[in-house]
Amino acid sequence: MKVIEHIKKAKGKTLFSFEILPPQKGESVQSIFNAIDPLMEFKPPFIDVTYHREEYIYKKRENGLLEKVSTRKRPGTVGICAAIINKYGVDAVPHIICGGFSKEETENALIDLDFLGIDNVLVLRGDAIKSEGRFEADPNGHSYASDLLQQVLDLNDGAYLHEEVKRNKTNFCIGIAGYPEKHFEAPSLKSDLKYLKMKVEMGAEYIVTQMFFDNKKYFDFVEKCRENDINVPIIPGLKPITTLKQMNVLPSIFHVDLPDDLVDALEGCKDNATAREVGVEWAIQQSKELKEAGVPCLHYYTMSKSLVTKKIAEALF
């Protein structure tokens, strides 16, 4: 079932969903099941599975020179989605990204997902390679999420890359990302909203937000979206803080602000255990306010570590 159909079927009730990471290359799919099992009692209608681009490592040749080698540390998104559907009977939402993938590789992944009966994809540009700092697209791939979105829409219309006639149409429900504090590369929030609206007008059917720690920023973002005739469901994405280090790492990596009250509470923590308690309680209060406001779904970034998310869900669902 499509994400938007799950939302409509809920008739105003706030749904629970979460995102997991594929395991590191060579690890068993059981690690995925171990992350999902504790959260199934809260009846998630869908589970997101991230996609990860290549990273580079350097291998020393016999002549002493270094060879730059591309590797993917977390492969297997398509297979994991199939495993989730088979084991749990819930919908899987694979992330499809621009970075590190050619148009042909993207089409092949989408064809495989369609064969498996997967109804949803979340279309993202993706991040830059850690060692490079700036996003660079595959020479034969897409530079922007809007271009990737168009490729999925083309398949939904039966238009494949190298076919002169239209073939079997896919039927993906397409989600996109939204940034309550704007994408860090956008010159302004107004500009960011312009491109968000463009993607909705192209055919994106729902939005999942970047993590945020101040609900006012989410509510303001939704209000600005509605003012700009962006009327699709906007699902808030939440990430509980679990370590003291994240107080500095999350703002640096994800370009989000932490409220002063949260920072003050974290600075008073003596270790990660107390920081985790603060993070969980903050996320619970965030979630309660969002749920009372009637958000369509509460979507949690678990990093495949489910026990913290379970504590939050126990207070909400």
Among 142-146, 149-153, 230-234, 296-300, the minimum mean pLDDT is found in 142-146
Q: Which of 5, 19, 27, 289 is catalytic?
A: 19
CA distance 78 to 89: 16
Mean pLDDT of 126-146: 76
Residue 235 contacts by C-beta under 8 Å, 6 or more apart in sequence? Answer: 17, 206, 207, 208, 209, 295, 296, 297, 298, 299
Residue 164 is predicted with a pLDDT of 80
Predicted model pTM: 0.92
In the residue annotation, 19 being an active-site residue is answered as yes
- Whether the CA torsion 208, 210, 214, 217 is positive or negative: it is negative
pLDDT at 200 over 80: yes
Which residue has 């209608």 as its token pair?
45
Residue-wise pLDDT for 254-309, tens only, equals: 999 999 999 999 999 999 999 999 999 999 999 999 999 999 999 999 988 899 99
* Better pLDDT: 150 or 141: 150
- Longest Cα separation, the chain: 66
Residue 52 is predicted with a pLDDT of 73
Residue-wise pLDDT for 82-118, tens only, equals: 999 999 999 999 999 998 789 999 999 999 999 999 9
Which residue has 């992350």 as its token pair?
35
Residue 88 is predicted with a pLDDT of 97
Amino acid at 133: G
pLDDT at 58 over 70: no
Residue 57 is predicted with a pLDDT of 58
pLDDT at 68 over 60: no
Chain-centroid distance of CA 162 in Å reads 29
DSSP-derived secondary structure letter, 22: P
- Classify burial at 243, counting beta carbons within 10 Å of its beta carbon; exposed 0-12, middle 13-18, buried 19 or more: middle
CA distance 46 to 172: 14
Residue 131 is predicted with a pLDDT of 58
- CA dist list (Å): 13 to 6, 8, 40, 127, 297: 10, 9, 18, 33, 8
Residue-wise pLDDT for 43-55, tens only, equals: 999 999 998 766 6
Residue 163 is predicted with a pLDDT of 83
Q: What phi-psi label fits residue 232: left (phi over 0), alpha (psi between -120 and 50 degrees) or beta?
A: beta
